[in-house]
Every structure is written in C-alpha cells, then in structure tokens.
C-alpha cells in the first residue's frame, strides 16, 4: 500500500468511504468526538442526550417519546426490535429481498418466532400485497426500507396500509437521513437504524423508535437484559425532565457526535439533505450508464445513496477495488453472496452525497477499469 508523505508522518490515513458503510462522518460529528468527555449523568450530557433524541424524532418522522440511540450498532437495533416484541411461538412475517431481510429471519427465529418468510429476487423491491397476504394474523410484519445489500428501496407506506393488527417493524439503517422516512404517517411501530450511513456519524449507535402501542404489546421480560426497552427508559428520553437512572454507561462521546451531526443535518434542512442525496445518486447512476455499465437494482426502486452496478464482463472486481483503494484512497464495496464478484456497491451518503463525489468516483472507476 502506498501512503502519502503526510500520511507517513502523521500516521493518519484518510480514506474516501464510498462503500456501503461506514461512510465518512460530517466534520461536525468528528469534531464532537474530540471534545472533553462528559460523565453519563452530567446535566450537560443529559441536555445533549435530550437534544439528540429530539433530532432523531425529526429524522424518523415520529412523535414517539421512546426514540433513542441504543448503545451498539444497527444489528443490535435489529435484536432489540425483535427481542422486545416477539415471544415464543409468535408469528413473524419477514419480507426478504436481500441480506438484511435474511438476518431478520435469523434474529426473529432466535427469539422463538414462527417465521413466515416471503422471498423476492435480490435487486427487486418487496411486494407489499404478497407480504400482507402471507399469514392471516401475524404479530409482526418486518421489512427493510433500504436494502444495502442490493441498493433497493421498498414501499413501507404501502405495507403500513396493509398491516392490519400486526406491528410493522422496519429496518431504516440505510434510509435514515438520506431518504424520505415518515414513521408515524406510514404506520411504522418499531424502527431501528444505524449512524454510519446517511446520518454521517461513525458506527456505534442504533437510533431506535417504538410507538406506545408497540411498547404496550411488548414482551414483558425479554431474554436480553441489555436491550430490554422497559429498563432502558430510565437511561434516556422516556423520563425527560426526571432524574435519569443508571442502566449502562452511555457512550457519551458517540452521543455528542450524533447530536452534532443531527444539528448539522437539521440546519441544512431535512428536505435539502435528502435532495442532496437524490441528486448525487442520480448523477452517479446516469454517469455509470453513460460509461456503458448496467445498474443492478430494479428501475424505479433504486436508492440514490447506495448504487449497485454490474461489473463489466472480463473485469476483475477485486482488482479494481484494490486499485481504487491504493491509488485514490477510495473504498467501494463488493456485492453480496452470489453477486460478490459481479456487482459493486457505491455509497454516496452523509457528507459524501454530493455531485462532486459522484464525478470523482466516476472518474476513478473509469480509469481503474480501463
């Protein structure tokens, strides 16, 4: 690997993280990490926590009072969602059109669910009607809003209309902060996300939201102590204005970083930020097609923040990615499973969601495959 002189002397290696995540954080989020550390029950920290929870409500599009950053990555958000709502034998319908839908099936089954899996081809969105008809009375219907493994967006609003008495559980790891997300209007009862994609923060927190109704229908004594939402209430938002109780040591630096990124996003304006993601993705996708490459995700369901593109015939996918890393300090991702060597995944998320970034990656990729 070739390091620049600055990198050799400072020991700092700066990558342009244009893969499926983590993405480069907003500078405000990085600066917040370097501030003097606060204790987790310090009133100054609690103010930051309250503000971060309020910012999360805005990006989720919810008024849920139980909206909080869980102290772990997106997969812990997934575990929290299922372990708190699924008891032994409960029926859970899972829409599967990629790796993260598959992971949901595994997690739900470990919680004792009777999993009814509804499969769709990788690269296609889920069909809400087929999902809703898969079982007459499930406790939970689960779907991934933005499948990072394939670059596909599914219609959560339509699922919300068809969910009946089921609780709608949604993975918004890659959509939050980058796509339209209206949890309350769409009937989302439980949602989890991650910080490392369009929110522009390092990995380490799982923004989580649960409606009052879903909270009332939760498993009273879930098998996870750490992720028990009944116990987490005292740690965060639920008791706003009241004394916090210790549950675990909140990752104060990470929450300050999240707060700073949310402030950055809300200052720019949620709509403006989403529009920036849309323009960047469209520029990239148009440019790739102009280069003669074929997009993988179905037209009409393509995520702007995560583009999947087929590796051209005769091109060594891994060699190109290694070349981009070495010569441009640019990371892009491989495809997943049987698409590992035939698809690339290119993320333009958070601060990287710009038309300049799209032009940069188009230029670099064009040179690498030449």
Which residues contact ligand PLP by CB under 6 A? 21, 73-75, 78, 100, 144, 148, 171, 173-174, 194, 203
Q: Which is nearer to ligand PLP, 175 or 369 (CB)?
A: 175
Task: Name the minimum Å distance from CB 41 to ligand PLP.
Answer: 27
* C-beta contacts of 118-124 below 8 A and 24+ residues apart: 118/93, 118/94, 120/95, 120/96, 121/97, 122/97, 122/98, 122/149, 122/150, 122/337, 122/339, 123/97, 123/150, 123/151, 123/152, 123/296, 123/297, 123/298, 123/308, 124/97, 124/152, 124/298, 124/301
> Is-contact 341 319, C-beta < 8 A?
no
Q: Which is nearer to ligand PLP, 78 or 309 (CB)?
A: 78
Task: Name the minimum Å distance from CB 332 to ligand PLP.
Answer: 14
Instruction: Give the number of C-alpha atoms closer than 13 A to the C-alpha of residue 179, restricted to the C-beta side.
Output: 27
Task: Name the minimum Å distance from CB 19 to ligand PLP.
Answer: 10
Q: Which is nearer to ligand PLP, 55 or 194 (CB)?
A: 194
Q: Which is nearer to ligand PLP, 75 or 224 (CB)?
A: 75
Q: Which is nearer to ligand PLP, 153 or 276 (CB)?
A: 153
Distance CA 67, CA 337 (A): 33
Q: Which is nearer to ligand PLP, 21 or 335 (CB)?
A: 21
* CB-closest chain residue to ligand PLP: 74
Task: Name the minimum Å distance from CB 247 to ligand PLP.
Answer: 21
Task: Name the minimum Å distance from CB 145 to ligand PLP.
Answer: 8
Q: Which is nearer to ligand PLP, 103 or 274 (CB)?
A: 103
Q: Which is nearer to ligand PLP, 69 or 233 (CB)?
A: 69
Task: Name the minimum Å distance from CB 330 to ligand PLP.
Answer: 19
> Is-contact 94 101, C-beta < 8 A?
yes
Q: Which is nearer to ligand PLP, 206 or 229 (CB)?
A: 206
Q: Which is nearer to ligand PLP, 143 or 309 (CB)?
A: 143
Q: What is the CA radius of gyration of the chain?
A: 20
Task: Name the minimum Å distance from CB 307 to ligand PLP.
Answer: 14
Task: Name the minimum Å distance from CB 98 to ligand PLP.
Answer: 8
Task: Name the minimum Å distance from CB 103 to ligand PLP.
Answer: 7
Candidates 347, 352, 343, 332; CA nearest to 293 is: 343
Pairing of strands 190-192, 206-210: antiparallel
Task: Name the minimum Å distance from CB 179 to ligand PLP.
Answer: 12
């Amino acid at each position: 690997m070739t390091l620049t002189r600055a990198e050799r002397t400072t020991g700092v290696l700066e990558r342009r993280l244009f893969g499926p995540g983590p993405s480069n954080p907003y500078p405000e989020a990085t600066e917040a990490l370097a501030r003097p550390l606060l204790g987790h029950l310090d009133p100054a920290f609690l103010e930051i926590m309250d503000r971060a929870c309020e910012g999360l409500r805005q990006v989720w599009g919810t008024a849920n009072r139980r909206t909080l950053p869980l102290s772990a990555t997106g997969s812990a958000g997934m575990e929290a969602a299922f372990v708190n709502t699924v008891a032994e034998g409960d029926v859970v319908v899972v829409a599967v059109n990629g790796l993260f839908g598959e992971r949901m099936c595994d997690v739900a089954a470990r919680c004792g669910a009777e999993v009814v899996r509804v499969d769709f081809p990788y690269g296609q969105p889920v069909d809400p009607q087929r999902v809703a008809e898969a079982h007459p009375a499930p406790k939970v219907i689960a779907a991934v809003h933005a499948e990072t493994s394939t670059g596909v967006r599914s219609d959560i609003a339509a699922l919300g209309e068809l969910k009946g008495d089921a609780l709608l559980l949604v993975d918004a790891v890659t959509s939050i902060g980058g796509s339209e997300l209206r949890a309350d209007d769409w009937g989302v009862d439980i949602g989890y996300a991650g910080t490392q994609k369009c929110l522009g923060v390092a990995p380490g927190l799982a923004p989580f939201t649960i409606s009052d109704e879903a909270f009332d229908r939760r498993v009273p004594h879930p098998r996870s102590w750490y992720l028990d939402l009944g116990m987490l209430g005292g740690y965060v938002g639920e008791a706003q204005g009241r004394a916090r109780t210790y549950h675990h040591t909140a990752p104060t630096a990470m929450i300050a970083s999240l707060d700073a990124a949310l402030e950055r996003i809300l200052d720019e304006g949620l709509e403006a930020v989403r529009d920036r993601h849309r323009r960047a993705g469209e520029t990239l996708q148009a440019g790739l097609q102009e280069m003669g490459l074929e997009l993988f995700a179905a037209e009409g369901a393509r995520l702007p923040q995560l583009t999947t593109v087929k590796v051209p015939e005769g091109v060594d996918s891994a060699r190109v990615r290694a070349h981009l890393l070495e010569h441009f300090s640019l990371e892009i991702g491989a495809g997943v499973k049987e698409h590992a060597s035939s698809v690339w995944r290119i993320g333009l998320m958070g601060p990287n969601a710009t038309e300049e970034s799209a032009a940069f990656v188009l230029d670099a990729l064009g040179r690498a495959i030449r």
